Amino acid sequence: MSRRTRRVLWVVAALGSLPLLVVGLFALNGLALAGRQAPRMQHLADVPVAASRSPAGEATFVSYNIAKGFAHRGGLKFESREFVLAKLRRMAEVIRAEQPDAVFLSEALTELAPCNVDQVEYLARECGLPHVAAGENYNVGLPFARVAGGNAILSRTPLTPVANIDLAGRKPFWVTGNNRRALFVSAEFGGRPVLMAALHNDSFDMRNNLTQAQQLLDFVGDRPAILAGDFNNRPENASIKLIRDTGKFCGAFDGPPTFFEGTRAERLDYIFAPAGWELLESRVVADDTSDHRPLVCRFKVK
């Protein structure tokens, strides 16, 4: 066999093994490098802490589904980094104006190879909220080119990691649509630890959405907790009624719509605090940067 023939055979073999290599790296990322069950915690020590509008004994929270910064256009099409940053800058302006003590994010990307920007860290820096927790709902792709995103909490005060639990109906790692986890951390309010959960529940199967709500209540138990995010459930639906009927939470169980799509306008986002607290203010910010409007709630901490 001539040297030329050996080279041709080597090239053919290398090209033939390339798909196997890609599949192997995809599986490695999905099975070993992704699927973080523990919250990813950051303290951005170089970020000055923003002022809070809440006096002592009160706390202001924002719940905001940022729709991935509209980075994904469908299929394999993505927006430019400049487009995504422009969206994030506007979102940061809206959040900063509320001077919150904590922000609960849904649909926030920490990695996206085509227009890579950590949306969670960016908003934390821009809003002066240096204590950050992120919980992956999905992480798919290759180790050096992947999409990772989920829920997050940005806070003026320190956060302690608790869990990033799988919610009912979770699918294999290569399925990114409707794969849900719930991010739990703990922070101190009124001199005692309080659980804080950032949520984005099932948007297709309302029976599974109800199962997820019960799962969240079981996890919380009798501990004081804040549940905030995109519940994908309307005020009259079973999941919201279930949470209300426990008597363990206060907040606005009804109110103006938070989600807008075409002619649709629905209340899907909520912030529920421990029952011993008092809701002082609840309103929806009239800003259409995302398809969800930011929900702002202010509580008296008891």
The helix (H) or strand (E) run that includes residue 214 is helix 206-220
Residue 73 domain-assigned (yes or no): yes
Residue 88 domain-assigned (yes or no): yes
Residue 275 domain-assigned (yes or no): yes
Residue 55 domain-assigned (yes or no): yes
CB-based contact 289:90 (threshold 8 Å)? yes
Beta strands in 115-232 (DSSP E): 131-142, 145-155, 160-166, 181-189, 192-200, 225-230
Residue 205 domain-assigned (yes or no): yes
pLDDT of 198 > 50? The answer is: yes
Which pTM was predicted?
Answer: 0.92
Residue 44 domain-assigned (yes or no): yes
**78-135 pLDDT per residue, tens:** 899 999 999 999 999 999 999 999 999 999 999 988 888 999 999 999 999 999 999 9
pLDDT of 66 > 90? The answer is: yes
- 217 burial (CB, 10 Å; 0-12 / 13-18 / 19+) is middle
Q: At what angle do helices 119-127 and 81-98 cross, to 10 degrees?
A: 40
pLDDT reported for residue 261: 92
Domain count, the chain: 1
Distance of alpha carbon 233 from alpha carbon 210, whole angstroms: 9
Query: DSSP code of 31?
Result: I
Reported residue count of the chain is 302
- Structure confidence at residue 181 as a pLDDT band (50, 70, 90): very high
CATH code of 291's domain = 3.60.10.10
Residue 138 domain-assigned (yes or no): yes
CA-based nearest residue to 224, from 268, 261, 276, 183: 276
CB-based contact 208:169 (threshold 8 Å)? yes
Residue 51 domain-assigned (yes or no): yes
pLDDT reported for residue 8: 45
* Structural domain span for residue 86: 34-300
Please tell me which residue, 264 or 8, carries the higher pLDDT value.
Answer: 264
